Amino acid sequence: MTDLERTHERTPVPEDWTYAPAPEARDIVTLRRRYGHYVGGEWLEPTETYTTISPASEEPLAEIGQATPAEVEHAVQAARDAFENGWSDVSPSERAKYLFRIARILQERSREFAVLESLNGGKPIKESRDVDLPLSAAHFFYYAGWADKLEYAFPNRRPRPIGVAGQIIPWNFPLLMLAWKIAPALAAGNTVVLKPAETTPLSALLFCDVLRQAELPPGVVNIVTGDGRTGAAIVKADGVDKIAFTGSTEVGRAIQRELAGTGKKLTLELGGKAANIIFDDAALDQAVEGIINGIYFNQGHVCCAGSRLLVQESIYEPVVEKLKRRLATLRVGDPLDKNTDVGAINSKQQLDKIEELVAVGKDEGAEIYQPPCRLPEKGYWFVPTVFTNVAQSYRIAQEEIFGPVLSILTFRTPDEALEKANNTPYGLSAGVWTEKGSRILWMAERLRAGVIWANTYNRFDPSSPFGGYKESGFGREGGRHGLGPYLQFEDGNG
């Protein structure tokens, strides 16, 4: 008998194939008991605080500052001083060096950031490790490359920075949204006051340490924390020249009203109710993976999530059967476990919203399917859910649920698919699954969505612009287009 055979003989055959726990170590993250606001390169002691928790365990993590309007004014003043007294004179190639440094440091500290992101936000570690962190670093690398090439990006238009950018971001991709906002703003030569979401401030606060390591001049990036009141104070602050907002359509509308007539620039990246359209000639197993990734990635807390599945009638049954089978294999649980597919819902408030809309879906007559699933006792959880028998008029087919809940509708012809896909107040993204290139192009020309994926879903790249139509907002982030909103031009065209 060989050594290998002897080893096999000694190894017991597992009785079932459930995964053993594979927790990522938490000790790479050192949390402070209390965090202030990062203003002018220093930590300011906050006047008010609140507690941030882990949504997976409800365990308190740290005390966080709740910035008052006066503290926001202070941060805006620091950004203005930095812009006028130094940063606007820094040569573009020097600016690029700071961005490259930030990107490199994020790469070096990526495990620390990934663990913190999962701890504070509830997303699975395999997503924060393999998606949020690499993409955040990639954004800084990408915009570092543009910093000294703005004249080439906008030929004959003499691009100049705007001044102070106020940036308000949501809780679904805390560090990535920060990167989407800060990288183009700095590449264009602006200074920044940024507010992370109330429930997920910790990665933005750790990012302040990256700024210190990169030796970014004080006041170029200022981070203030707090809830919607802090966001509203940034919007109102006189010294802010531009607002970049990602979040709900409702708050986006309020911001637009507030800024009307002020001359401040505005970009809004709001909600979505994307159609993921499966034609009968699509590779079904691949499409099912795309459906799963489209709606259960990040617990469905994704503005471009494929939350409305449109399936061609002739393949409805096999698709639903395969989908249900695949759903049963999703592992829901501890975000810090490397095997987890679906983590915790970000907050009690968001869980209540999901539960409310799911109850409405049942009342309206849709048929619910949830795989057998044991949820942890503490924390905020929701079982991955599929609704069939959904009519277009149902609220679950119209409103953004922002959770792991999929509504399935059917269609017979490409025209019908298109009509149903476009029948939404939103217009952020869409997916098309078919083997015919001509059909992809035909659909893409007619779909009213800012981003269209073909035979894939939820793929992001810093060089590719992202943004919406209609109630999904306006302005683009990413790519050369993402620089425009942070610049003014001599020809006066914004």
Judge whether 303 counts as a catalytic residue.
yes
x/- string (CB under 6 A) for ligand NDP, residues 175-214? Answer: --------------------x-xx----------------
Nearest residue (CB) to ligand NDP, 198 versus 341: 198
Site string for ligand NDP, 317-346 (x = CB under 6 A): ------------------------------
- Sequence-separated (6 or more) residues with CB below 8 Å from residue 342: 124, 296, 299, 330, 331, 332, 384, 404
Q: Decide if 269 is catalytic.
A: yes
Torsion of CA 305, 308, 312, 314, to 10 degrees: 110
Cross-strand partners of 42: 39
d(CA 327, CA 383): 10
CB 327 within 8 A of CB 385: no
CA distances (Å), origin 475, targets 140, 191, 244, 368, 422: 19, 19, 9, 37, 20
Q: Which of residues 271-290 bind ligand NDP (CB under 6 A)?
A: 271
Question: Residue 169 or residue 327: which is nearer to ligand NDP going by CB?
Answer: 169
- Indicate which single residue of 49, 88, 213, 248 sits in contact with ligand NDP (rule: CB under 6 A): 248
172 contributes a contact to ligand NDP by CB under 6 A: yes
Q: Taking the chain, what is the end-to-end CA distance rounded to the nearest angstrom? A: 77
- Using CB atoms, what's the residue nearest to ligand NDP? 231
Q: What sign does the dihedral 435-436-441-443 (CA atoms) show?
A: negative
* Number of Cβ atoms within 10 Å of the Cβ of 313: 12
In sign, the C-alpha dihedral spanning 135, 140, 142, 143 is: positive
Q: How far is the CB of 386 from ligand NDP (least distance, A)?
A: 19
Q: Which two tokens stand for residue 351?
A: 């869980």
Least Å from the CB of residue 364 to ligand NDP: 19
* Tokens 């130094």 -> residue: 86
Between 268 and 323, name the residue whose CB sits nearer to ligand NDP: 268
Q: Which of 228, 289, 446, 455 binds ligand NDP (CB under 6 A)?
A: 228
Q: Out of 119, 187, 235, 274, which residue is the one contacting ligand NDP (CB under 6 A)?
A: 235
Span of 52-60, 267-275, 282-290, 459-467 interacting with ligand NDP by CB under 6 A: 267-275
Among 36, 218, 247, 475, binds ligand NDP (CB under 6 A): 247
For position 384 contacting ligand NDP by CB under 6 A, the verdict is no
Positions marked active-site: 269, 303
